[in-house]
Amino acid sequence: MPGTRIGEKALTCLLYLSALIIIGILLAIVGYIVYKGLAMINLDFIMQAPRRAGKEGGISSTIVGTLYLTVLSLAIAAPLGVGTAIHLEEYAQKESYFAYLVTLTAETLAAIPSIIYGLFGFVFFVIYLKLGWSIWSGSLTLAIMVWPTITRTAQEAILSVPREYRENSLALGASKWQTIRKIVIPAAIPGIVTGMILALGRAIGETAAVLLTAGTSLGMPLSPADPARSMSVHLYMLAMEGLSMERAFGTAFLIIILLLFINYLANRSMSLLSHNGG
């Protein structure tokens, strides 16, 4: 039937087109930001502190603030997330109500918009715990936000470790914890690291939650008790208040570079996982 043939061709064309559009959009965004931002990038922009609210100077304090926030939030969320995953996969009874509750919580947390985390962090950490606008408040808020991501990926990584490894280890007289520590976690580590890197990327890009909890101070943050402005927040302020579009694009460019680098790391550890054969 000629009708079906034409229909099939049209469908193939449409599918091809949609794939093309996706690539086009990505290239347009990255291309435009590179085109607009590259002109701003030099050592001064990276190394100098912002002056006149960011209208002049560089973005050094926001880079430091971003690194501070992401590293600290990951340091809090990683043990929590991996611990949760180990509990769910290795200790909790599969049908137990508690395991169901934890999984449901993680899923719900993952679906909450980040501005809600920001509001919660603002009320709880900034005001109630009197941490003020600080790296502590920001990191704790980000940690809660990325915790489900880390849990989920760690769960999958642990689940993919063959059951035979556990049986063999236990049959050799190893305790459950020895088996987890010496066999399960080493075999799952590439997957766990991938999850952490994804979480890192999410934390770096986060604006709303950080704006409400770490503040917008342009000073160089020294201790975690200091307020800080992350690169994403800085970009938002620069663009929103019309301070300097060139600098906004310069910041955007650096964020994208950072994220691409992190994605590259995630892919690398993924391929490591497949090399080890799980």
Binding site for other proteins (CB under 8 A): 93-94, 162, 164-175, 178, 182-183, 186-187, 276-278
The closest of 33, 26, 27 to 245, measured between CA atoms, is 33
Least distance CB 190 / other proteins (angstroms): 11
Structure tokens at 39: 């002109």
- Residue 97 or 128: which CB sits closer to other proteins? 97
- Residue 108 or 178: which CB sits closer to other proteins? 178
> Residue 146 and residue 81: Cα distance in Å, rounded?
9
Least distance CB 156 / other proteins (angstroms): 17
Q: How far is CA 173 from the centre of its chain?
A: 39
Is the CB of residue 87 less than 8 Å from the CB of residue 243?
Answer: no
Least distance CB 159 / other proteins (angstroms): 16
Q: What is the DSSP pairing of strand 50-51 with strand 56-57? A: antiparallel
- Residue 220 or 272: which CB sits closer to other proteins? 272
Least distance CB 88 / other proteins (angstroms): 15
CB atoms within 10 A of CB 37: 22
Least distance CB 95 / other proteins (angstroms): 9
- Residue 74 or 187: which CB sits closer to other proteins? 187
Torsion angle defined by CA atoms of residues 77, 59, 37 and 196, in that order, rounded to the nearest 10 degrees:
-10
- Residue 126 or 187: which CB sits closer to other proteins? 187
Length of the chain (residues)? 278
